[in-house]
Amino acid sequence: MLVSAVVIGWLGGLVWALFFVIAVLLYYIYRHLRFMAAMSDWLANSEQASLPPANSDWDEIFYGLERMGRRHKRAMARLMAVLDRFEHAAQAIPDGIVMINDADQIEWFNPVACRHFGLDDKTDRGQFIGYLIRQSVFHDYLSHGDFREALVMKSPVSRDMTLSVQVVAFGERQKMLISRDVTQVEMLESMRRDFVANVSHELRTPLTVVGGFLETFLDTESLSRDDFLRYCDLMQQQTDRMRRLVEDLLTLSRLESPQNRLVETTVDMPLLVRSLYQDAVSLSAGRHPIEMGLESHACVIGNADELASGLGNLVSNAVRYTPPGKAIRLRWGMKSGQLCFSVQDEGEGIEAHHIPRLTERFYRVDRGRSRETGGTGLGLAIAKHVLTRHHARLQIESRIGHGSCFSACFPADRVVADEDCLETSA
Ligand code: ADP
């Protein structure tokens, strides 16, 4: 009896103890579940929510996670800053850059590439590069796979833009397309080619003539003195022509040389205009009535020799292209609010479409007429260069059948007023 009472009491105590242990365990599990739920909420919303309160076990986990989060954020911020810098640098690069993946699809491009290829930031990412740049030369270049040389091609945006395009392969069949606007370089190269061709052509004709006469001298046993003198005269004309051409080429080269800075003084324009008038009179040799109108005594800041050469070309052109008997007028005075030196002639005039091209080297309206009168085709190019160096403008007005007016107009800051001019040029 006593034994059974002890057993029952012991069993009862055991059950209570068991209950107690289960209750403690359930509470423990409940707390962990609560912390887990809090952690899950915090992880889902860790940007805004502050760290949830925790007991010592979870405290460490929460703080550990928060430290990791902070490290991750810092790394992200650094990465974003690097990406930002890269993006800014890529935008500042003067070349176009297009990143292409292994399937030839566009992944990324900078604003210069947009301008070069007409790419659209919103629609063209992920497109095949070959769909957007549809020129066969480009397709051949891309498919050929030999990217050692750059490809020179017209921009798909405008035929006036020439691009040099080079592919740099990297990684797993990825490519970077670099494009550069070489329109200016191409234009200069073509001007250089034209210039060399023109100079060669200009020199070949007189050289052929001189060579022909020399051959005649060698082949002909007895040449009359009259023929000899006539041939010598013709040879001299041709060598004069070559000399003038070489002199004009050297003048142009001097004017273009960056080392040759403009040496400026106060140029007495009335004096220069008088001297140009005298040149016109002697060149015309009585064939034209020539007038001079000095309506201002102002001087200009500039180089007297260069101005004499540039403006002298306008005067000699008027004499050379004006038929005998027709008048020529030289004038220094105000014109449309600026001080201008003008040469007005009553020649045949120039058709409007020639006017914008007259200052190009070797451009002539009538090649025969220019050669006949000893022209090199460089006079107006020299005049334009000289005036540009003086920040002055060459104005050309012409009417067929009425004549032409070539004016060199100086900006106000180059002009020295009459009274000051007398003092400074004295
Ligand atoms: P050129 O040595 O041939 O005269 P320029 O450069 O001086 O070369 O002039 C270019 C062309 O402009 C000339 O060939 C000529 O056709 C035209 N030109 C220049 N001045 C006149 C003018 N006063 N009247 C008519 N044509 C002119």
Tell me the percentage of the chain whose pLDDT exceeds 70.
96
pLDDT tens readout for residues 24-52: 999 889 888 888 888 888 778 766 667 77
Protein residue with its CA nearest to atom 13 in ligand 1: 364
Distance, CA of 425 to chain centre: 41
Protein residue with its CA nearest to atom 4 in ligand 1: 375
Residue 396's pLDDT is: 98
Higher pLDDT, 73 or 3: 73
Sequence-distant (6+) residues with CB within 8 A of 302 are 262, 264, 265, 267, 390, 414
CA of 363 to the centre of ligand 1 (A): 8
Mutate to test the pocket of ligand 1, among 247, 346, 370 (most ligand atoms within 8 A of CB): 370
Residue ranges of alpha helices (H) inside 176-268 are 183-219, 225-256
Q: Do domains 188-256 and 265-425 have the same CATH topology?
A: no
Residue 49's pLDDT is: 66
CA distance 142 to 139: 5
Residue 138's pLDDT is: 93
Three-state secondary structure call for residue 122: coil
Residue 417's pLDDT is: 84
346 contacts 402 by C-beta, under 8 angstroms: yes
Please determine, for residue 55, whether its predicted confidence score (pLDDT) is greater than 80.
no
Protein residue with its CA nearest to atom 21 in ligand 1: 317
What number does CATH give the domain 188-256? 1.10.287.130
Ligand 1 binding pocket includes 296 (Cβ within 6 Å): no
Protein residue with its CA nearest to atom 18 in ligand 1: 317
pLDDT tens readout for residues 235-253: 999 999 999 999 999 999 9
DSSP string, 160-173: T-EEEEEEEEETTT
Ligand 1 binding pocket includes 350 (Cβ within 6 Å): yes
Instruction: Please identify, by atom number, the ligand 1 atom nearest to the C-alpha of residue 317.
Output: 20
pLDDT tens readout for residues 182-236: 999 999 999 999 999 999 999 998 999 999 999 988 888 888 889 889 999 999 9
Please determine, for residue 425, whether its predicted confidence score (pLDDT) is greater than 80.
no
Ligand 1 binding pocket includes 355 (Cβ within 6 Å): no
Strands (DSSP E) contained in 71-202 are 96-100, 106-109, 151-154, 162-170, 174-181
pLDDT tier, 64 (very low <50, low <70, confident <90, very high otherwise):
confident
Strands (DSSP E) contained in 32-155 are 96-100, 106-109, 151-154
Closest to 409 (Cα-Cα) out of 344, 336, 354: 336
Ligand 1 binding pocket includes 317 (Cβ within 6 Å): yes
Instruction: Please identify, by atom number, the ligand 1 atom nearest to the C-alpha of residue 382.
Output: 6
Mean pLDDT, the chain, integer: 90
273 contacts 292 by C-beta, under 8 angstroms: yes
CA distance 277 to 269: 12
Residue 422's pLDDT is: 59
pLDDT tens readout for residues 70-95: 899 999 999 999 988 988 888 888 89
pLDDT tens readout for residues 323-350: 999 999 999 999 999 999 999 999 999 9
Protein residue with its CA nearest to atom 16 in ligand 1: 365
Helix H or strand E segment including 393: strand 393-399
**The domain defined by 93-181 carries CATH number 1.10.10.10:** no
Protein residue with its CA nearest to atom 10 in ligand 1: 364
CA of 376 to the centre of ligand 1 (A): 9
The arithmetic mean of pLDDT across residues 172-177, rounded, is 88
CA of 302 to the centre of ligand 1 (A): 25
Domain borders along the chain are: 93-181, 188-256, 265-425
Residue 3's pLDDT is: 73
CA of 121 to the centre of ligand 1 (A): 51
**The domain defined by 265-425 carries CATH number 3.30.565.10:** yes
Tokens of 172: 């797993």
Ligand 1 binding pocket includes 66 (Cβ within 6 Å): no
276 contacts 293 by C-beta, under 8 angstroms: no
Q: What is the pTM of this model?
A: 0.71
Bridge partner residues of 174 (DSSP): 170
